[in-house]
Amino acid sequence: MATFGARLAAAIAARGSVCAGIDPHASLLADWGLDDTVDGLRTFALTAVEGLAPYVPVIKPQSAFYERFGSAGVKVLEEVIAASREAGALVCLDVKRGDIGSTSQAYADAYLDPRSPLASDSITVSPYLGFGSLKPFVDTAIKYDAGLFVLGLTSNPEGPEVQHATTASGERVADVMFGHLRELNAGATPLGSFGAVIGATIQSGGTEHLQAFNFNGPILAPGFGEQGASAADIKRIFGDLTVLASTSRGLLKAGPSVSALRDAALATRDSLA
């Protein structure tokens, strides 16, 4: 199998740069006229897959919205992963895991080992127990040609407390993380498999930050669409770097019509071209 970076580069070339989140908020289920039950969850999630997965490069289910229903919800998540991949989309499972040692390895096996029913092309992880704590995830991703999106500069207002803090050498903590990604992706073509989550709503003071963001890996940019960031913001912040503009509600509000979901995905793709 090709590396995740190579598969992602090909998927973006073929389908554009939209990452479609399938996040079954209770309020969205209600908007679709569905009950906040496992049956409502399954109808919502698989309808979203049908309308979105054939037209976007990446589907990103947020695990928590399935886990809240217990084992039955996790079973729906397994179906979402399988159906999305069958439709030709890559899957980034949004789990934001971060732990140490054997626990990290267990998480990595759960989400990246092809023998697991939750196996995905990539996952989100947190490096803020120290980047070295991610080694089991990194090693497992390399073993199975999967990818990681490491939290870097997130869009939540609390993020800067840690991410903008500086080390003893004066380097911003987030930039230390980007440096580790640069090392992991060195020499990879056409794209490294280790990316970062960088919010599309972050404030930037010009283009000098692009050097920090240029770690030869993909950028997952939440905050696009309903959260306020526009296609112009994506271009302003990230330039010509490889970016997946992530949107959930902005697409899902078009449901429950499958054709309306498709049209929303295509229109969003075209806005980013």
Name the residues annotated as catalytic.
96
Q: How far apart are CA 243 and CA 196, in angstroms?
A: 10
What phi and psi, each to the nearest 5 degrees, are found at residue 37? -135, 175
User: Do 200 and 233 touch, CB atoms closer than 8 A?
Assistant: yes
What phi and psi, each to the nearest 5 degrees, are found at residue 123? -140, 165
User: Do 120 and 91 touch, CB atoms closer than 8 A?
Assistant: yes
List the one residue out of 164, 184, 189, 179 whose CA is nearest residue 242: 189
User: Do 272 and 17 touch, CB atoms closer than 8 A?
Assistant: yes
Contacts of 4 (CB under 8 A, 6+ apart): 90, 121, 122, 141, 145, 146, 147, 193
